């Protein structure tokens, strides 16, 4: 993280830009918590009863799994609309493979995550090698899965052994185990993005695939990796859903998880066109949405009004971020903390030094 002192202004500004956005999101989360506590209190209710807090954390765990993966994909300037369907398929696979037998739990988990990874691989391959717009590619994958589920699983399928159902229900204090697992996963994702080469390459490819490629990054690998990881987190979300329901239910794709995950990512300050943002912000976005849901629940808001408010909130949030970013190039310093900063302002983007510098940087890590 420690930036070399070579070019202080750019580095400082970049650090500010990044912590600035994430800080803003956490500030918004804190503000939301305070405001909603006060508002709920003024209605004579308590937002932070044990039940409500557990509810909040439980909501955030499911959405968190989906949003972490989605963050990686969006950072690569891709998108995954299939996560809801992958999660639904995962509940079915987990429940049918486990078939109520505790001894088959590891097998069930492996099968679920393996299948999810394969779907992610397919998504990534279609996006990178066939050059299909990610929106369309993953929508297509989702529709294919939907057709399969609709045709073969009309009702609940399989059974989850009670040993694995504990994953959905156990909690330590007010923290459900699933939320802790989600937070650990988020931590791992942060480390992955900021400490590994593939993580850096994701930012690079998301920022500008062509420039990344010219700089010696294999531009397809990070995108495929992101898609595989995203589908696997969707698989985990499916495992969580299955452990809560105790059975595989194909119809969970109706809940619009993919849109909610994208909303969380975008609320968290990750730029929808790739290259900027991170998992830390996403987690704040997840908690913002979960808090809103909990507040709506406590206040017994009509579920349809919830949809309206959610739509308005997401649009507003994105509009605010777009506002705070008047000039796109001003905030697009790509490697704020790793490697040498780009050579002093190359007026010609195609100037020769750029690839050389970045190439040694990539190789040196």
Partner 1 sequence: MTETPARRSAPPALPSALGRGGTATVLLILVLIFVVIATQNPSFFQGPPLMAFAKKAAPLVILAVGQYLVIVSGEFDLSVGSLVGAQVVIAARLIDGEEGMTLPVIVLMLAFGVLVGLVNGLVTTFLGVPSIITTLGMMLVLFGAVRFWTGGAPTGSLSEAFRVPGRGGIEDLPFLGQLPWAALIALALTVGAVFLMRSPFGRSLMATGDNDVAAAFSGVRVRRVRILAFVGSALMATVAAILIGGYAGVTAQVGQGLEFTAITAVVLGGVVLGGGRGTVVAAALGALTVEALFTLFNQLYLPSTIQPSVQGLIIIAAVAYAARRGDLRPPGRPRRRPDHEPEREPGTPRR
Please choose, out of 98-106, 177-185, 282-290, 349-357, the segment that lies near partner 1 by the rule CB under 8 A.
349-357
Alpha helices by DSSP H, the chain: 8-42, 50-75, 83-98, 105-128, 134-152, 162-169, 177-195, 197-207, 209-214, 220-245, 257-267, 279-298, 303-323, 353-364
Q: Which CB sits closer to partner 1, 12 or 312?
A: 312
Minimum distance of partner 1 from residue 226's CB (angstroms): 15
Q: Is 282 in the site for partner 1 (CB under 8 A)?
A: no
Please give the Cα distance from 347 to 188 (Å, whole number): 38
Size of the site for partner 1 (CB under 8 A): 63
Neighbours of 128 (CB within 10 A): 22
Please choose, out of 104-112, 162-170, 186-194, 339-347, the segment that lies near partner 1 by the rule CB under 8 A.
339-347
The answer to whether 90 and 235 are in contact (CB under 8 A) is yes
Which residues are within 8 A (CB) of 261 and not within 5 positions of it... i.e. 6 or more apart?
A: 63, 66, 67, 69, 70, 83
Site string for partner 1, 209-238 (x = CB under 8 A): x-x---------------------------
Burial of 6 (0-12, 13-18, 19+ CB in 10 A): exposed
Minimum distance of partner 1 from residue 131's CB (angstroms): 4
Please choose, out of 7-15, 140-148, 165-173, 289-297, the segment that lies near partner 1 by the rule CB under 8 A.
140-148
Q: Is 330 in the site for partner 1 (CB under 8 A)?
A: yes
Minimum distance of partner 1 from residue 357's CB (angstroms): 13
Neighbours of 308 (CB within 10 A): 11
Span 53-72, contacts to partner 1 by CB under 8 A: none
Q: Is 318 in the site for partner 1 (CB under 8 A)?
A: yes
State both tokens at 50. 């044990």
The answer to whether 69 and 75 are in contact (CB under 8 A) is no
User: Of residues 133, 162, 170, 360, which one binds partner 1 by CB under 8 A?
Assistant: 133
Q: Which CB sits closer to partner 1, 244 or 310?
A: 310
Span 150-169, contacts to partner 1 by CB under 8 A: 150-151
Please give the Cα distance from 65 to 181 (Å, whole number): 9
Q: Is 345 in the site for partner 1 (CB under 8 A)?
A: yes
Q: Given the rule CB under 8 A, which residues bind partner 1?
A: 77, 79, 126, 130-137, 139-148, 150-151, 207-209, 211, 259, 262, 266, 272-273, 302-312, 314-315, 318-319, 322-323, 326-330, 332, 334, 342, 345-347, 349-350, 354
């Amino acid at each position: 993280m420690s930036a070399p002192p070579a070019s202080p202004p750019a580095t400082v500004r970049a650090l500010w830009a990044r912590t600035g956005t994430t800080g803003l999101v956490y500030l918004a989360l804190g503000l939301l918590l305070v405001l909603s506590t006060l508002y709920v209190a003024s209605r004579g209710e308590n937002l932070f009863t044990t039940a409500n807090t557990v509810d909040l954390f439980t909501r955030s765990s499911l959405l968190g799994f989906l949003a972490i993966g989605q963050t990686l994909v969006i950072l690569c300037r891709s998108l995954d609309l299939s996560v809801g369907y992958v999660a639904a398929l995962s509940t079915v696979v987990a429940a049918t493979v486990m078939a109520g037998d505790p001894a088959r739990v590891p097998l069930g988990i492996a099968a679920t995550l393996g299948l999810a990874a394969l779907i992610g691989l397919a998504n990534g391959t279609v996006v990178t090698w066939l050059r299909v717009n990610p929106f369309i590619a993953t929508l297509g994958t989702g529709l294919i899965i939907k057709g399969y589920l609709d045709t073969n699983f009309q009702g609940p399928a399989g059974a989850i052994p009670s040993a694995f159902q504990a994953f959905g229900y156990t909690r330590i204090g007010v923290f459900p185990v699933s939320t802790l697992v989600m937070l650990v996963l988020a931590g791992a994702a942060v480390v992955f993005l900021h400490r590994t080469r593939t993580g850096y390459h994701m930012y690079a490819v998301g920022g500008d695939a062509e420039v990344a490629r010219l700089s010696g990054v294999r531009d397809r690998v990070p995108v495929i990796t992101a898609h595989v990881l995203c589908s696997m987190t969707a698989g985990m979300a499916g495992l969580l859903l299955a452990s809560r329901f105790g059975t595989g239910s194909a119809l969970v794709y109706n809940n619009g998880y993919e849109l909610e995950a994208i909303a969380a990512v975008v609320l968290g300050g990750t730029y929808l066109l790739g290259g900027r943002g991170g998992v830390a912000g996403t987690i704040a976005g997840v908690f913002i949405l979960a808090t809103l849901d909990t507040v709506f629940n406590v206040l017994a808001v009509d579920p349809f009004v919830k949809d309206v408010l959610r739509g308005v909130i997401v649009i507003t949030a994105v509009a605010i971020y777009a506002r705070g970013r008047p000039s796109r190039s001003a905030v697009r310093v790509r490697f704020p903390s790793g490697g040498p900063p780009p050579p002093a302002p190359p007026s010609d983007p195609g100037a020769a030094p750029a690839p050389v510098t970045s190439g040694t940087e990539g190789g040196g890590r």
